[in-house]
Structure 1
Amino acid sequence: MVTDEQNEDFQRLHQLIEGSDDVRGFLEGMARYASTTLSRVTGAPIECAVTLHRRKRSVTIAGSSDRAILLDGVEQALGDGPCLEALRTLKPVLVPDTGIDERWPRLSVSLAAAGARSVLGVPLELGVNAAAALNFFAQDAGLFTEHAIEEATIFEDMAAQALRLAVRIATADLLAEDLKAAMESRTAIDLATGVIMEQNHCSRKEAFSLLRDASQNRNQKLRDVAAGVLGSRFESPDTASVTYFED
């Protein structure tokens, strides 16, 4: 059963999507909110970093603080640890005490020296092409109890849903921008063709051939040549398009 606090978390994540300019902004906000959520559960300061795994490569892409990003970066540099293990197994992975854990000795020594005594890696399932994980760090050992892990897992499920939505929205925005750019390019080409027709008293087919030939001869994109024609036309209304095409 979803509690009021969990429902509030879900609503908050969706508000982050609406209030973020891009996916990175959402991820940074999500990391801060995950940090706040686990800090509330454990009663102690918790930091959080977000790791993205794609095309056999993992990288830290956001964090609740610069320190969280640095701590997560240690694991990425060493190439193994609870966060990466969580990505492989798609299950939460706990290091209850970096002072005594022997699974990743170099990582444990480095994190303990940096003041991170316990770590919790929680995977986010995004789909077949990418995966992400939340890497939580605590200053004290033993803070990630069963209850804290359960709460992190619930938050992970909501965060994964919100992140998938954010990625879809970002993809849709990029597609819209590409479509808009394509439409603007087509409009510029059509306008330039019309200018050439007017100034050279030729057909649309002949005008477009002039435009295309100039594009090929100058090794320029068709839309760039079209923009040049329009610029020349409106800067010097009496200049013929054949003059623009002369080398």
Structure 2
Amino acid sequence: MKVFRPDKPNGAALLVTPGGGYSVIMIDVEGYQLGPWLSERGWTVFVLYYRLPGEGWADRANVPLADAQRAMRLIRSRAAQYGFDPQKVGAMGFSAGGHVCADLATRYDAKVYAPVDAADRLSARPALAAPIYAVQSMSQPLAHAGSRAMLLGPNPTADMEHAHSTANHVTANTPPVFMVHAEDDTVVSVENTIAMRAALKAAGIKVETHLFTAGEHGLSLPGPAGEPARRWKEMFVAWAQAQGLG
């Protein structure tokens, strides 16, 4: 993890998981560029370079979640050192990293790795989650084909697809969720976010959802076509403050 520390801490921290279709990690655009922006606003930001499932790891489909769980526990174990409240640690992820984020929010207590040290006695549940233009479903027609193939391997069963579609694991204990997506996204269908919202609403979870007409995949189109989608970060900060973080 790379840490971005604020000059004036607001008492909250955020674990960030960049996207990249589970084949690469877009560490700059969805990590190292976001970290300074958030730290300027008081957040202590931890950008996670998680393992990729296609690298030959055992239990490939749970490797990113294992890294996210471990990261959350390590972050909480260092709260005093970095100057934030261990109860005020959120998670944010983008595209396939958004799947990691939502997987963490819904399966934070799944046993996907053997405990390493005392930090693993801490909770991995984020105080809030922000899966941004996120991969959600591993079943067609909503699945992002590349992410599905990398996470689950060739020819996954229907049971595997169901087990790794995040909307299927929403419970009453899922934390509040903030989501944004552009309706003209041709990489990851906006229907992923819509299905996730429906599951959250059905479980009675607080969910803030912003669907933009334009913005494509990345929500950063230059010029008028990118407005107001590019303002999602300000929307997130305002929402997080309303949840008691930031």
TM-score by length of 2: 0.25
Higher helix share: 1
TM-score by length of 1: 0.24
